[in-house]
Structure 1
């Protein structure tokens, strides 16, 4: 039986083989005819067209999604390494001249002063003269308008019935710098300290969200950043940066313009003059100049003071009450604060040591006090206080660098960063005279 099945299988295979030989066309390979030159040219053009189309679509998608990607990723594409730099000013120096040269200068200027005074007394001022004067001051305020903003401080709360409510406060701000894709605004610290969200309204009506770059609780100021990539080119170019002036050159009698919120209302303005210049006013970790001006000012809402060139020379402050009886507005000078502004504009914490002091004068040295910075106050719970520095100590060096005046000390502190550990040497008075003590101080943030 098995042999019959094997014979049957061999017969079937033989028949299949003969059938394959009888139909040889089934095993042939079909080859497409070669392409013509016209077809080849058409394929090349189609490939080039598709490549160009995909390139254009990719570029469009990149441009449209770039601002969104920046906001989601929390960074600024193309602005890496763009640090804000604010040039520092040097205080004016009074040359030491002999009595003869001083008397010669007085003799030379007195006749000129008398001539000018005589001519001014003879001149009859008209209303046109006053209108021209105030017209020029109005122009200074108007030119600064594109550099002023309104900062909306928004808080989200719940009422007694658990209904969400939104409260908003308005503060004035001034544009102090502009990076490739960011606008930096100086504003009172109150505008940001309790805000859940911040919105910034520009002069053309554009409203954009703002973020806090950094704040300074000592001077009660903050820097807010706005993403400029959310503006079109026309809007971005329209924003004006208010130049930071040299407040060391401000003198008694200078005419000034107050902008921001001098009336307690944003986008108000006022005019006046400098009545008094106080130098070397004690401040935390340094010294500053304070101007007394007969101009309106509201420090809590934000009032910024410009010179007649339209440059920012300071802002009104409620600190440094040298005379509680004075009804004039106090203005903090910008030049003493430029180092701090630079750090805040770049998002860095402002270093904090925590003393108020003064330079040891010649009279103090004659009485036996060593050269250095005399500590008047060691601010409670400050890094200096916690390290053990006390009122009455005389700081002589910081990290090995000799400290001869408040400017040296201020520059040393501003060059530090949060968390830096520094060595500070003081001379402390005792029964046996002055003894040097070395402290290690960990720098904090203001």
Structure 2
């Protein structure tokens, strides 16, 4: 009996020791973990919290609200309330309500010089008889003059009589790449200085059918009605583009917005300031994009690219330089031409009297033609 009791006591002691050891180990593990946590400093807040607030604070004062007023003739209107009782008294015809109607418009703009020049979209001010500009969150209103407009690019330049305004800095839009982060700032639905964020979805977008000279920056930053004429800026707070349009089946944002590149907007602005209009390049030749089908029909080798010359206008710069129908324009001043749209943009941006070196593919042979537009 004494031997049995001794064995039982030994087992209890072993179990107690084991439990004690495990308890000590667990306790030490907790201490070590706590010590490790205490010895590792927490990362600084600015390292883990991304914010664009400094950029917005810098850029927002440069974005303005554009108010427009336009008077239009009032046309025929439908019967009020769709009442068929009224319809029978008028023989099924709607009564005429003659007179004029005043329409109010709302858009955005961007201050580009301290002395009051403002860029906006042409369609924001097109046809407007009066244009007012509201500055800041308090919306100080100024009467604006239309310096000039360019429907071909959807750019318009306004001027208000004020000094020391917060002008935005221009970015080099040619360096913009798909994937770059951008901010869109404007006044959608009258909500002043609204900021949305996205990325550049594509650059050099054309074939949209909005204007004649299309070279848009495409973005998924939310752009809605009232954003037109506002700023698309990079992460340094520089103007990358002027917001102009959205692709939408519903009228609201669907993640496909377009902005006029800052470089193009600046070139148009300078022309409008100097001349009040844009004078575009002209070489006197109709062109179309060289498609794979056309290249195959013409038995051209290699990847099809360039602009195929259709008709050459008599006595035009192109005819005088020796350009012929069937030539394929492959480069201008050493810069490759991908399609007809690129050619129109390049030629259109050159001032009168510019000497242009055009490389063409004529019946499989490369030829240089010097044209003075």
TM-score normalised by L of structure 1: 0.48
Query: Residue 190 in 1 paired to residue 123 in 2?
Result: yes
In the TM superposition, residue 437 of structure 1 has moved relative to its aligned partner by 12
| CA distance in structure 2 between the partners assigned to 1:439 and 1:285 by the alignment | 26
- Where 2:219 maps in the other structure, the secondary structure is strand
1:255-283 CA deviation, whole Å, 9 max, x = no partner?
A: 3221113x443524233231534458679
Name 1:205's counterpart in structure 2: 139
- Residue 343 of structure 1 is aligned with which of 265, 271, 288? 271
Q: Secondary structure at the match of 1:305?
A: strand
When residues 374 and 316 of structure 1 are mapped into structure 2, their CA distance, relative to the original with a 3 A threshold, is same
Larger radius of gyration: 1
- Report if aligned partners of 1:214, 1:222 keep a CA contact under 8 Å in 2: yes
1:395 match: 329
Deviation (angstroms), 1:369: 7.5
| Residue 70 of structure 2, aligned match among 144, 155, 176 | 155
Structure 2 residue 115 is matched with structure 1 residue 173? no
The one of 49, 59, 69 aligned to 1:144:
59
Do the aligned partners of residues 414 and 307 (structure 1) sit closer, same or farther apart at CA in structure 2, a change above 3 Å counting? same
1:239-388 equivalence runs, <5 A = 239-261=165-187, 263-274=188-199, 276-278=201-203, 288=215, 290-293=217-220, 295-298=221-224, 301-302=227-228, 303-318=230-245, 327-332=254-259, 333-346=261-274, 347-351=276-280, 353=282, 367-368=300-301, 373-375=306-308
Contact 2:181–2:200 under 8 Å retained in 1 = no
Counterparts of 1:394 and 1:285, CA distance in 2: 22
Q: Distance in 2 between matches of 1:391 and 1:142?
A: 55
Determine helix, strand or coil for the equivalent of 2:267: helix
3-state SS of 1:177 partner:
coil
Q: Which of the pair is proportionally richer in helix?
A: 1
RMSD of equivalent CA atoms: 5.3
* Residues 35-54 of structure 1 mapped to structure 2, 5 A cutoff: none
In the TM superposition, 1:2-41 aligns within 5 A as: none
1:195-252, Cα deviation, whole Å (9 max, x unpaired): 1121222225332222222222232221112233xxxxxxx32x21011112344445
Q: Deviations over 1:340-372 (max 9, x none)?
A: 332234334141548675899xx99x9448999
The 2-side partners of 1:276 and 1:185 are apart by: 27
1:345–1:434 CA distance, 2 compared to 1 (3 A): same
Q: Is the 8 A contact 2:133 2:144 kept in 1?
A: yes
Query: Structure 1 residues 269, 359: CA separation in 2 closer, same or farther (over 3 Å shift)?
Result: farther
* 8 Å CA contact 1:188, 1:300 repeated in 2: no
CA contact (8 A) 1:282 1:358 kept: no
Partner residue in 1 for 2:24: none
- Relative distance call for 1:371 and 1:148 in structure 2 (3 A) is same
Q: Secondary structure at the match of 2:224?
A: coil
Shift of 1:142: 3.4
Change (3 A) 1:199 1:422: same
Inter-partner Cα distance in structure 2 for 1:174 and 1:318: 16
Partners of 1:245 and 1:312 within 8 A in 2: yes
In structure 2, how many angstroms separate the alpha carbons of the residues matched to 1:264 and 1:377?
A: 46
SS of 1:351 mapped into structure 2: coil
Q: Does 1:414 align with 2:349?
A: yes
Q: 1:433 to 1:416 in 2, by over 3 A?
A: same
Find the partner of 1:217 among 138, 148, 151: 151
Distance 1:320 1:392 in 2: 36
* SS of equivalent residue, structure 1 residue 267: coil
The answer to whether the 8 Å contact 1:373/1:403 transfers is no
Please report how far the alpha carbon of residue 154 of structure 1 lies from its aligned counterpart in structure 2 after TM superposition: 1.0
8 Å Cα contact 1:172/1:267 also seen in 2: no
Which runs of no fewer than 5 residues in structure 1 stay unpaired?
A: 1-122, 229-235
SS at match of 1:210: strand
Cα deviation, 1:165-216, whole Å, max 9, x if unaligned, reads: 53221111111224xxx41111121222111121222225332222222222
- Unaligned 5+ segments in structure 2 are 1-40, 75-95
Counterpart position of 2:35: none
